[in-house]
């Protein structure tokens, strides 16, 4: 006991300084990162302020997107319409992106989520000669989607029509009616792309904007990770059928929230920081007019433990979602999880053969009670029954901007 007291007494200044540094670092990071990292634990320190910033940021994204669309003159829009239409009709595109959209009446016309998707995706599509884009208007009456007609009519679009004879088949219950229509619209959206004979179909919901360089990352994923991990080894084994490109942020990154993973990263960063500090101290000492003969050695067990604990706590506070998103800086770091989770369909990449079978299934069984009511569960059940190989990409290649749901009387929280 006396020896422990002697050791503690010997290093009390070091530990006091470490505790002060620990508190200062977290207070500083909490004040600077809580607004910019919505899924971090720092957000708990400024939840109200962060929510207000989220709403302001969402509104600014919408205004920027509208200004982007309005900034194109009629000549540019006409040229873009001809070029995008030609790509579709020529059948030379191997990737066809379909955006499923409806007019969200609770959102002002100039702030419709569709504009954010087009703002993110159009430059990417224009820069990729083998990619095409089409909008699937799921509004019951095509002319009711005034935002599409006013701001995005130059983008090839198709209205999803339902036969009048089937009007009486729609269930009267509001929630069941919604999901029946959603399953049918999703199948029709797939067919909207399939008529142009692409090799791959990407379905984006109109409130899910892709990340920058979306198509290049997608091609890298197809040619790299998916080809390496999902190439059939025999005739009985199938290739991958679809890849989910988005998963809810609150559930993302659990694969990385591993105690050993965080400890190893913290030790590595701790050693790196102490090594840099030691080199700086040695250089400064050598350049000094009165160099010290006894240069202190910083890479001690005490120093390493202190720095590692501070780094570990910062990583834990930043959170698994933001740590996983560091992969976006490196295309080669994209990973996949198999099988794909049952939840969510805001952004999905399909092989054309899988899209064709799935579209037929959803349309033919739109009114059936034999399949799951929710579209994502119906898709997952169909994939499992056919033994499809499915997966989910990590991290997300798209972000869900939607705050107002298309479900009646449902409002979602902002996630960005």
Q: What is the pLDDT of residues 82-105, one digit of tens each?
A: 999 998 888 888 999 999 998 887
CA 119 to chain centre: 16
The set of long-range contacts for 257-260, using a CB threshold of 8 Å and a minimum separation of 24, is 257/320
> Which DSSP letter does residue 416 get?
-
Residue range 230-240: mean pLDDT, rounded: 70
Strand-strand pairing, 347-351 and 200-205: antiparallel
Give the other-Cβ count within 10 Å of 337's Cβ: 16
Tens of pLDDT, residue by residue over 42-62, are: 676 666 666 666 677 777 787
Beta bridge pairs of residue 392: 244, 337
Cβ atoms of 322 and 37 closer than 8 Å: yes
The per-residue pLDDT of the chain, averaged, comes to 76
User: How far is it, in rounded angstroms, from Cα 309 to Cα 1?
Assistant: 25
Comparison of pLDDT for 66 and 5, the residue scoring more: 66
Give the other-Cβ count within 10 Å of 13's Cβ: 9
Q: Lowest-pLDDT range, 3-12, 107-116, 128-137, 345-354? A: 3-12
What's the token pair of residue 183? 């399953």
Q: What is the pLDDT of residue 350?
A: 95
Q: What is the pLDDT of residue 97?
A: 94
Q: What is the pLDDT of residue 283?
A: 73
User: How far is it, in rounded angstroms, from Cα 337 to Cα 126?
Assistant: 30
- Report residue 195's pLDDT band, with 50, 70 and 90 as the boundaries: very high
Q: What is the pLDDT of residue 416?
A: 40
User: How far is it, in rounded angstroms, from Cα 53 to Cα 411?
Assistant: 18
CA angle 99, 389, 120 (to 5 degrees): 25
State the sign of the Cα–Cα–Cα–Cα dihedral 97, 376, 141, 148.
negative
Cβ atoms of 347 and 392 closer than 8 Å: no
User: How far is it, in rounded angstroms, from Cα 368 to Cα 184?
Assistant: 11
Phi, psi dihedral angles at 203 (to 5 degrees): -105, 120
Phi, psi dihedral angles at 252 (to 5 degrees): -75, 150
Most confident of 22-36, 95-109, 187-201: 187-201
| Exposure string for 74-101, b = 16+ CB within 10 A, e = fewer | eeeeeebeeebeebbeeeebbbbbbbbb
Entry field: residues in the chain: 416
Provide the whole-model pTM: 0.77
What is the enclosing helix (H) or strand (E) of 225?
A: none
HSE (CB half, 13 Å, CA atoms) of 142?
9
């Amino acid at each position: 006991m006396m020896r422990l007291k002697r050791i503690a007494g010997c290093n009390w200044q070091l530990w006091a300084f470490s505790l002060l540094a620990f508190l200062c670092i977290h207070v500083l990071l909490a004040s600077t990162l809580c607004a910019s990292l919505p899924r971090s634990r720092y957000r708990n320190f400024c939840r109200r302020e962060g929510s207000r910033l989220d709403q302001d940021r969402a509104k600014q994204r919408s205004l920027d997107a509208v200004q982007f669309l309005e900034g194109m003159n009629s000549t540019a829009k006409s040229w873009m319409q001809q070029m995008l239409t030609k790509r579709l009709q020529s059948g030379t595109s191997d990737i066809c992106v379909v955006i499923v959209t409806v007019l969200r009446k609770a959102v002002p016309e100039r702030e419709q989520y569709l504009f954010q998707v087009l703002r993110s995706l159009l430059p990417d599509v224009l820069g990729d000669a083998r990619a095409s884009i089409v909008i699937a208007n799921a509004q019951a009456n095509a002319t009711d989607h005034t935002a599409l007609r006013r701001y995005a009519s130059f983008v090839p679009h198709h209205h999803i029509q339902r036969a009048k004879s089937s009007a009486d088949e729609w269930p009267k219950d509001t929630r069941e009616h919604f999901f029946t229509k959603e399953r049918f619209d999703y199948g029709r959206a797939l067919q909207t792309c399939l008529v142009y004979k692409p090799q791959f179909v990407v379905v984006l919901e109109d409130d899910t904007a892709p990340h920058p360089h979306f198509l290049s990352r997608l091609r890298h994923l197809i040619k790299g990770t998916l080809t390496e991990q999902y190439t059939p080894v025999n005739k009985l084994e199938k290739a991958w059928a679809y890849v989910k490109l988005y998963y809810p942020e609150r559930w993302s990154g659990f694969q990385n929230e591993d105690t050993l993973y965080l400890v190893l990263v913290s030790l590595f960063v701790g050693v790196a920081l102490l090594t840099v500090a030691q080199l700086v101290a040695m250089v400064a000492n050598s350049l000094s007019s009165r160099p010290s003969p006894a240069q202190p050695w910083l890479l001690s067990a005490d120093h390493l433990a202190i720095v590692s604990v501070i780094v570990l706590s910062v990583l834990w506070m930043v959170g698994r979602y933001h740590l996983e998103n560091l992969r976006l800086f490196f295309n080669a770091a994209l990973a996949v999880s198999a099988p794909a989770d049952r939840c969510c369909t805001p952004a999905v990449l399909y092989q054309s053969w899988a899209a064709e079978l799935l579209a037929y299934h959803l349309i033919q069984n739109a009114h059936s009670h034999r399949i799951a009511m929710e579209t994502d569960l119906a898709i997952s059940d169909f994939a499992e029954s056919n033994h499809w190989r499915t997966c989910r990409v990590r991290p997300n290649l798209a972000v869900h901007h939607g705050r107002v749901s298309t479900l009646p009387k449902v409002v979602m929280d902002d996630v960005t």
